[in-house]
Amino acid sequence: MKLLKVAALVFVMCIMTTGCDTSSDLPENLLDDNIIYDKGNNELYTFINKSLDGTTLVLPDNSSEVGQINKVDSNIIAFQKRQDVNLKINKVGFVLISKNDDGYTLEDSYLEEGEEIEYASFYDLNNDGSDEVILLINNKSVTTMNVYSIKNNKVTRISKIKPTWLDDYKKYTQMKIKIGFIDNDLKLDILMMNYDNSSGEMYATMLNYSNNNELSTTDAIKIPNVKNLNDLYLVIGKVYNNKKGVILSMPTLKENGYATQILFMKDNKLKKVFNDDDLIFNSYYVPVRDENKDGILDIPVLNNNMIENFASNSKPSALVSWRKWNNKTGKDADTIFISQVYYNYKNNFKFLVPDTLANKLYIQKSIEGDTPYYIFYYYDKSSKEPLELFQIGISAKNLVEDAKASPKMDSILAETDNNYYQLVVRNKDTFKKYDLTLENMKEYFSIIYE
């Protein structure tokens, strides 16, 4: 089943009125960044404005994925909103436009009662070779999923979905979805999250469409202690060897941080990996990613208690252990250590902690003149006092040039246009004792943003 390509048409008007980021790779930017006027796009924009018939262009909330006006296969879809002040009824939807040698033609349009489009995307959900339009529409604080097919330039609503499979489903008014290949059956899946704002309770369900547009759902999985859906992150990918799944990074209601859960399919049922009381917890959101480039998603665990004066609401630096799932569930579920990395976002560098020093470093900041130094100590439970291993200092190049002297350092680990990154070793015997050398320090050290 193919994932349909979506290309958003980005206009000067979009830039001025909606704050669209035209540098994004998703969707495809069809307007050259150096062009401030494009005749073809201007003609299309003018045609759409004339075709809106009392509605206005609207941008869905997931504006990083779609635009106001989008090219979907051979069609153009523009999202619209109609406001009736007298009747106090709002409607949202889209217009369907085709293009040929003679110009543009308004083919069809569809409006649903609602205040906003929380999410919009285009996928071939039923594997019929045509695009379906998927909208999450919020109407009177209740979100529903609406799916539309486009056949012969006509729009037909396939389904309007509420979580009726849940007990007392009407209280689950909020919704979020993630679409992709979540398991290995080559069928496009919809992971739907339904949320009760009053209790912080969320349910996860997997949905699929058949070739004749019949909807099937798995059993729903309950996930408690969720603060909201707006700050919920869902990442699809390999979670263990050849096993695919979804990693959830969830804002928590009680602890005011982020918890990690993994969902996957087994025997046509949706499963969760960790017990609700045994989730991985971080004080703030850290994105999951394939840290060691082996094709499997890795889970970040913050170790910021090993950074001096770290505040949970401030993120100038972070010490992160990267771990992966052990392929077990329930009480046997755990993660396996991969690596530990110190990230210094303020000064734009990171340090891969050698495995022999993982979870045994304590990091302290010191300032000498205008130069910040980060002191790395070796510390474990058997040590009476932490041992200084080395320091990393950051010298601004303009200050060095003004002083007409090279920075004081044992060696330069790296340099950027603005800074020198210095390695300072006070005790060479201690440095060597833990198998540290100039050569491997340069391998462990790198710049975050070149």
pLDDT digits (tens, 9 = 90+) for 161-181: 999 999 999 999 999 999 999
Q: pLDDT value at position 73? A: 84
DSSP code at position 399: H
CB 312, CB 283: distance < 8 Å: yes
User: What phi and psi, each to the nearest 5 degrees, are found at residue 304?
Assistant: -70, -5
Per-residue pLDDT at 400: 63
pLDDT at position 21: 37
pLDDT of residue 121: 97
Measured between alpha carbons, how far is residue 306 from residues 82, 340, 365 in Å? 54, 12, 12
Sorted by where each begins, the domain ranges of the chain are 1-113, 357-447
How confident is the model at residue 450, as a pLDDT?
81
Report residues of the chain scoring pLDDT below 70.
Answer: 1-40, 310-314, 400-410
State residue 16 phi and psi, 5-degree precision: -80, -25
Residues 103, 48: Cα–Cα separation, whole Å = 12
- For position 398, what pLDDT does the model report? 80
